[in-house]
Amino acid sequence: MFKKLPEPGAATLSLYLDGQPVEAEPGETVAAVLLRQPTLASRTTPVNESPRAPFCMMGVCFDCLAIVDGVASVQSCLVTVQEGMRIERQLGRRRLAS
Amino acid sequence: MATDYDVIVIGAGMVGAAVAYGLSGPTRRVLMLDGADTDHRAAKANFGLVWAHGKGFGHPDYHRLSIQAAQAWPDFVQQLEAEGGMGVSYERNGGLHFCMSDAELATRAARMDAWHGQTPDLATSTLVLDRGELRRRFPSMALGKDVAGATLGTLDGHVNPLRLLAAMQTAFVRRGGELRNNHAVSAINALPGGGFEVASGERKVRGARVLIAAGLGAAALGPMVGLESHLHPQKGQLLVTERLAPVMPVPASGLRQTAEGTVMIGVTHEDAGYDLATTTEGAVRMARKALRILPALAQVKLVRQWACLRVMTPDGYPVYARSVTHPGASIALCHSGVTLAAFHAGDFAKAFAADALPPALNIFHYERFHVQKAA
The pLDDT tens digits of the residues spanning B229-278 come to 899 999 999 999 999 999 999 999 999 999 999 999 999 999 999 999 99
* Interface contact A46, partner B, CB < 8 A: yes
Task: Quick: pLDDT tens for B159-177.
Answer: 999 999 999 999 999 999 9
Task: Give the integer Cα–Cα distance in Å for A94 and B244.
Answer: 5
Residues of chain A contacting residue B244, judged by C-beta atoms under 8 Å apart: 46, 93-96
pTM of this structure: 0.93
A49 belongs to a structural domain: yes
Interface with A, mutate which of B140, B240, B244, B258 (most A CBs under 10 A) = B244
What average pLDDT does this structure show over B294-306?
95
Kindly state whether residue A83 falls inside one of the protein's structural domains.
yes
Check whether B371 has a pLDDT greater than 80: no
Pairwise CA distance, residues B344 & B242, whole Å: 33
What pLDDT was estimated at residue A69? 97
Is A61 inside a domain boundary?
A: yes
Residue A98: predicted pLDDT: 65
Band of the pLDDT at A51, cuts 50, 70, 90? very high
Mean pLDDT of B296-300: 95
* Residue A35: closest CA among A69, A72, A6, A66: A66
Domain annotation for chain B: domains and CATH numbers: 5-49+162-231+315-374 (3.50.50.60), 95-154 (no CATH), 232-312 (3.30.9.10)
Contact A94/B244, CB-based, under 8 Å? Answer: yes
Measure in Å the smallest separation between the Cα of B243 and chain A Cα atoms. Answer: 6
Q: What percent of chain B has pLDDT over 70?
A: 99
Residues of B in Cβ contact (< 8 Å) with A47 = 243, 260-261
Query: What was the pLDDT predicted at B182?
Result: 95
Give me the CATH number covering residue A80. 3.10.20.30
Q: Which of B249, B260, B300, B87 shows the shortest CA–CA distance to A45?
A: B260
CB contact under 8 A, B260 and A47: yes
- Which residues of A, range 55-74, sit inside 8 Å of B by Cβ? 72-73
Domain interval for residue A80: 28-88
- B interface mutation test: which of A45, A63, A73 has the most B CBs within 10 A? A73
Q: How confident is the model at residue B45 (pLDDT cuts 50, 70, 90)?
A: confident
Question: Within a 13 Å sphere around the CA of B119, how many CA atoms are in the beta-carbon half?
Answer: 23
Residues from chain A contacting residue B139 (CB–CB below 8 Å):
none
Is the pLDDT at B280 greater than 80? The verdict is yes
- pLDDT-derived band at B38, boundaries 50, 70, 90: confident
Residue B296 to chain A, least CA–CA distance (Å):
6
Q: Going by DSSP bridges, is the β-strand pair B263-265/B255-257 parallel, antiparallel, or unpaired?
A: antiparallel
According to the model, what pLDDT value does residue B15 have? 97
Using N-to-C axis directions, what is the helix angle for B60-84 and B102-118, rounded to 10°? 90
Task: Fill in the DSSP letter of residue B359.
Answer: G
A63 Cα to chain B: minimum distance (Å): 13
pLDDT tens track for B99-111: 999 999 999 999 9
Indicate the DSSP class of residue B325: S
Mean pLDDT of B55-68: 96
A79 domain-assigned: yes
| pLDDT score at A10 | 79
The mean of the pLDDT values for chain B is: 95
Is A64 part of a structural domain of the chain? Answer: yes
> Per-residue pLDDT for B345 more than 70?
yes
Nearest residue to B329 (alpha-carbon basis) of B10, B16, B43: B10
In a domain, A20, yes or no: no
Q: Which of A72, A93, A97 sits opposite B261 (nearest CB)?
A: A93
**Could you give the maximum distance between any two Cα atoms of chain B, in Å?**
68
Q: Closest-CA residue in chain B for A96?
A: B296
Task: Count structural domains, chain A.
Answer: 1
**Residue B257 pLDDT:** 98
Report the pLDDT value the prediction gives residue B44, as an integer from 0 to 100. Answer: 81
A29 SS3 class = strand
Neighboring chain A residues of B142 at a CB cutoff of 8 Å: 96, 98
Instruction: State yes or no: pLDDT of B374 exceeds 70.
Output: no
In a domain, A56, yes or no: yes
B290 CB neighbours in chain A (<8 A) are none
Please tell me if residue A95 touches chain B, with a CB cutoff of 8 Å.
yes
Is the residue at A12 inside a domain? no
How many Å lie between the alpha carbon of B104 and the closest alpha carbon of chain A? 26
